Structure 1
Amino acid sequence: MDHTDRELLTGGNMDPVLRVGDTVRRTAGPWTPAVHRLLRRLNAVSFSEAPRPLGLDEENREILTFIPGEVIADLPPAELWSPALLKDAAAMLRRFHEATAPLIPDKGPWRSATHHPVEVICHNDFAPYNLILRNGRVSGVIDFDMASPGSRLWDLAYLAYRLAPFAEDAVGLEPNRDGDRETRLKLLIEAYGVNYSISEVLEVAAERLDELAEFTDQRAVTTGRSDFTEHAAMYRRDAQRLRTKHGS
């Protein structure tokens, strides 16, 4: 079948992502049925911020609806680090988790490992590069292929790492304008709506980065990409800083 209006989308570090008209095509795998069950569940409970699954195409790629808007990681710092955007993201994560809780008996297979205690289906990459801004609000979340059962905190801690932010490669945060990192972390926890301590969030974020570093090293070997090796080293440095910060 001949498709017009094709565009190779940015991101897609795991697999190529192609926009075709109002749809997105990406590599399917054994995890795809579980991801599509998740997306259908979200659609059924009116979580409209996620794409809808439309099956597979003739090249055995999954077909998803395209979420219009701007990836928030591409925003200038004054917008990216807005406290309002941070609260939007945390509130969306909470609604996503509430919608997925009934699916936790789903054994997949999922592409990512399960992380205990299992409370919800985690996105596992709920971060600025997968969040979409439209009309000044966080209005979409994409790239669900790494989803799997896990704890609320597993997802929230990674969002905190990326949006508080504690990542070494985060630039442009101005405490006088945006709030300092600890204040922003408290705001994120409050907006999510579960009374986690700062220490709990940082501890799990460090664990998340340990796992991410190992995974990224494996990707470097598989792909031969030196940037993955550099990213893995950054994750380990950041994990150590987080552990120093909360005294473990």
Structure 2
Amino acid sequence: MDEQVLTGGNSNAVVRVGETVRRPAGPWTPAVHSLLRALRAAGVHEVPEPLGFDEKGREVLFFLPGEVGNYPLPDWLWAPAILEGAGRLLRRVHDASAPLIDQDLVWRLPSHEPIEVICHNDVAPYNMTFISGRVAGLFDFDMASPGPRIWDLAYLAYRLAPLGEDAGIDTSDDERLARMDRLIDAYGMPFPRAEVLRTVAARLLDLATYTDGRIQETKNPDFAAHAAMYRRDAVRADVLALRA
């Protein structure tokens, strides 16, 4: 069957073949497939179903229908229903992943303490699908690893409050903080606003360091701009935490 390159991420090696997605596999892929199977067995059907590997050694996943939240971000992405749906879905993913934290699995990224769940580590609109203005799916679990719930929730707040300079939405800090509160409420655990913001800053500095490494690996100058933005946004999150 014909292969259709899927765009929007940092790789052109992800393709759609019929109703499946084919992606390069790595030593972490069996752990990711175990996670996806556990999530779906627990009723979280908004994640891809793993189907094994093809003749080229690529992992095979069922294709998730819907529109992906790629850049430039659409105006409908800022609707309250998106915030609430994303927060509820992340909570369900985390709850269903908890039984895997004690298993001897190889993950792509290091763990972060305290280990409570398996974090997706890149929960953002560009890794989500949407249908009729609602969150319909979450994909790209390649960077998953054990960590605290707030690690994922903070990054989702960074992308959906939004707290990043690349969001393309003109709104006040008070409005961003109110949106973050709504997301936390949807997740359903009483994380203090200041703690989430401090975790946003820590998460972005960690991401900037990781992105520095990607510059060396890929020689892609775009990654340098991304790393610099993450560091600027981390400073801003720390400032907001002082007034939270």
Distance 2:235 2:71 in 1: 27
Distance 1:196 1:117 in 2: 15
Is the partner of 1:29 in helix, strand or coil?
coil
Distance 1:185 1:32 in 2: 32
- 1:228 is aligned to 223
1:38 aligned residue (14, 35, 38):
35
Is the partner of 1:216 in helix, strand or coil?
helix
- 1:72 is aligned to 69
Q: String of CA shifts for 1:59-94, please: whole Å, max 9, x gaps.
A: 110000000100134586430111111111011000
Measure how far apart 1:155 and its partner are: 0.2
Is the partner of 2:113 in helix, strand or coil?
coil
1:26 aligned residue (23, 27, 44):
23
Give the alignment's TM-score, normalised by structure 1: 0.93
Distance 1:107 1:149 in 2: 11
Structure 1 stretches lacking a partner, 5+ long: none
Amino acid at match of 1:17: V
Give the alignment's TM-score, normalised by structure 2: 0.95
Contact 2:73–2:168 (CA under 8 A) maintained in structure 1? no
Instruction: Indicate the larger mover: 6-15 or 35-44.
Output: 6-15
Runs of 4+ in structure 1 over 6 Å off: none
State how 1:60-139 maps to structure 2 within 5 Å.
60-73=57-70, 77-139=74-136
The percent of aligned pairs where both chains have the same amino acid is: 55
Distance 2:159 2:146 in 1: 21
Distance 1:240 1:159 in 2: 17
Structure 2 stretches lacking a partner, 5+ long: none
Contact 1:73–1:80 (CA under 8 A) maintained in structure 2? no
- 1:53 is aligned to 50
- 1:206 is aligned to 201
2:155 aligned residue (137, 158, 175):
158
Count of aligned pairs between the two proteins = 242
Amino acid at match of 1:207: A
Question: C-alpha root-mean-square deviation of aligned residues, in Å?
Answer: 1.6
